[in-house]
Structure 1
């Protein structure tokens, strides 16, 4: 079967981009469930209750729901700029911040040769990204995970370009806002980047201490009560929870010992694979593997948390696997897990309701991790003695240039590791996750 011919003139390309942008706009406005900035409402309400009404951060509940603020107190400090804003201004600010974070993420993943993709490929990539369910929900919920991803990938860029002096600051801030990114400190320890691990730990502790100074009661409540109460976040068996804990909960297996054993097994696999990536000097793959592992081992990983998988798709495409990357990416655009919103029993429920978890697990087990150490120069330790490690966007793999295919999927994958040929399914659920 002959592949479709793509336009080769600027006029034809511009027309194609306009048609795709219109189709994506219609789709996002009519097909997926729009989340009405639910999580932003949690952040906004908690900050206004704290600043303007003298209440505690964790007392606020979105009217008509049981959902309130669930992040560490330092996150509330970071969100203090919401206090003087009206609701509509806060929504605009959330969209702008997430757009800026997305630009940072794409710039880091594309690497120093990002300009070579040109306006056409970047336009195709943005159309594809607009269909990615975790990204859609991040914007529609007003979520913060994209900002945390940008902070963490900033450290990846520093480490891979020999600018490791300040590496760890982004990870430390991200871990102080939300606990899951703390696994990246484990990656730094695994890589024996002691300075970066120390910086990350110091920044996280300093930020946490600042929050404790600003509101001792809130910090005491969070670290002694709220942290251990998963019911504040939402039901473990809710289909949006695509973590290993969610899989077990939908199977009716609440045994924490079983979950802890599975988590330990996954962490061992992560340590082995991430260690190989670090040994090969492939920091992007190491960070991608860590993001996937964090999604699996976290007690609750809502669908929109899976923006942490974006680096994995960039790694796949760059390693010369645009078709698998495109296929997996397309599944993550379909909202298919919501077909089992009401009933996840049976074999079809076990496979279908957890399909995003299976994709995450597959990426952890099979993501390419660069060439062996013998085929690479050693990691940079001193600028005068060794060459710097490869850039996060272009590890030295023999198949790297294969991602620059001229096919529709290949052109998008070459830029960001995503595919444009997608077949979305309407989400049947209107229940907010409450996963602030």
Structure 2
């Protein structure tokens, strides 16, 4: 891993980039009418904890200002005590550090055994730049969650499973969708990691908030949050913010599938826009759900069939396997807004390493073509393109192109002489270092 250096032009550009994004958050708050998006919500949640007020309405069917579990509000409270500007500045610095660490972890875990040059190192970040800007502007924690997950897999590979699953559990307790790593650990028979993650989840969700909220109060709020967010689903939507669930802003497998299978207005998040529909058929809610379940089951079975058995794993195959896992975790979340796809940073980095360092010329060329296709598809989210491209799932399509590229590399490893064959027995396994 590299440390930042002002002598490196790409590192200097990253610093200038972060300063600009931090200014975009702080200038409106200090000299303007106040920063909007999610920043005021984080301050409100922290203040609710400081003053012993409820985070959720008594009725789980009511409107939730705060749609996250109680733990993030508890973590925000100490910073909210000092006011909005210190809180916003800390969150920006946290995102800047997370962006740097995501890049460093991604390159270190790409499995090529090569240290990229400075500009090649910057390439995945350039591809992901719009998502990073979105995260800074909104104040969302998805970059932080990504660095937790990457750090967890780094620790797991280094033989420190308890620290690793602590990172997984913390990410899940902040924003639920990283829970998808748990079935992966079950399939890989990492039973200690499964037990550890479960124990840490209990700690983060039930025990850690208790001294600040009271045990009974915290349990009651957790129950209300679960009923309002996880336990509700209907043809109109799921959880909170029903107007966003089926609209073009959501590019999850669930949302895109329902828009294709049912007559759903993909402009419903904006009442000023005329209704638009993209459904190919007109199915009822239950039938559409069963089709989504079947599609997800086929994808899951395909992933299980694709990944190598434990005794054939290498650092290279692990990078491709985990890259596909991150892709699936992103699109399997019921709500996958634009900034969720910053999680493609790691899989894109893996393919950049394959495109740069694979000794097979045709493979390098093909991998660059895959990356170019991913960039084109991701680019359709820019405002200059019709919103229909997002409704049809341009980011979802880019994710599946990434999965296809990673899957090909996973099934076509290199042997000496340039031909492909399965990895050799005795290859490095996660949690076991090369010296063991």
What is the TM-score normalised by the length of structure 1? Answer: 0.69
- Report the 3-state secondary structure (helix = DSSP H, G, I; strand = E; otherwise coil) of the residue aligned with 1:317: helix
1:81 deviates by 2.9
- Equivalent residues in 2 for 1:180-195 (5 A)? 180-195=177-192
Asked if the contact 2:69/2:225 (under 8 Å) is kept, the reply is yes
The 1-side partners of 2:346 and 2:430 are apart by 25
1:270 aligned residue: 300
The 2-side partners of 1:27 and 1:80 are apart by 24
1:92 deviates by 1.2
Match of 2:249 among 226, 237, 240: 240
1:222 aligned residue: 225
1:103 deviates by 1.9
1:330 deviates by 4.7
- Report the 3-state secondary structure (helix = DSSP H, G, I; strand = E; otherwise coil) of the residue aligned with 1:375: coil
- Equivalent residues in 2 for 1:8-407 (5 A)? 38-52=37-51, 54-59=52-57, 68-111=65-108, 116-122=115-121, 126=125, 128=126, 132-164=129-161, 166-210=163-207, 211=209, 213=215, 215-229=218-232, 230=238, 232-233=240-241, 234-251=243-260, 252=263, 255-273=285-303, 276-277=306-307, 279=309, 280-281=312-313, 282-320=317-355, 321-336=367-382, 339-341=385-387, 344=388, 353-368=392-407, 370=410, 371=413, 373-375=422-424, 377-380=426-429, 387=434
Q: 1:382 to 1:200 in 2, by over 3 A?
A: closer
Residue-by-residue CA offset, 1:343-397 (whole Å, 9 max, x unaligned): x4xxxx5x864211112233334423533654353344896xx9479xxxxxxxx
The 1-side partners of 2:386 and 2:23 are apart by 23
1:313 deviates by 0.6
- Report the 3-state secondary structure (helix = DSSP H, G, I; strand = E; otherwise coil) of the residue aligned with 1:215: helix
The 2-side partners of 1:133 and 1:298 are apart by 20
The 2-side partners of 1:102 and 1:26 are apart by 14
Unmatched runs of 5 consecutive residues or more in structure 2 = 1-7, 29-33, 233-237, 265-283, 356-366, 414-420
The 2-side partners of 1:190 and 1:338 are apart by 43
Asked if the contact 2:45/2:77 (under 8 Å) is kept, the reply is no
Q: 1:298 to 1:90 in 2, by over 3 A?
A: same
Asked if the contact 1:94/1:142 (under 8 Å) is kept, the reply is yes
Asked if the contact 2:56/2:64 (under 8 Å) is kept, the reply is no
RMSD between aligned alpha carbons? 3.9
1:125 deviates by 5.6
Asked if the contact 1:313/1:329 (under 8 Å) is kept, the reply is no
Q: 1:284 to 1:220 in 2, by over 3 A?
A: same
The 1-side partners of 2:204 and 2:97 are apart by 23
1:405 aligned residue: none
What is the TM-score normalised by the length of structure 2? Answer: 0.69
Residue-by-residue CA offset, 1:262-303 (whole Å, 9 max, x unaligned): 244324423432563353523332222222222222221111
- Report the 3-state secondary structure (helix = DSSP H, G, I; strand = E; otherwise coil) of the residue aligned with 2:56: helix
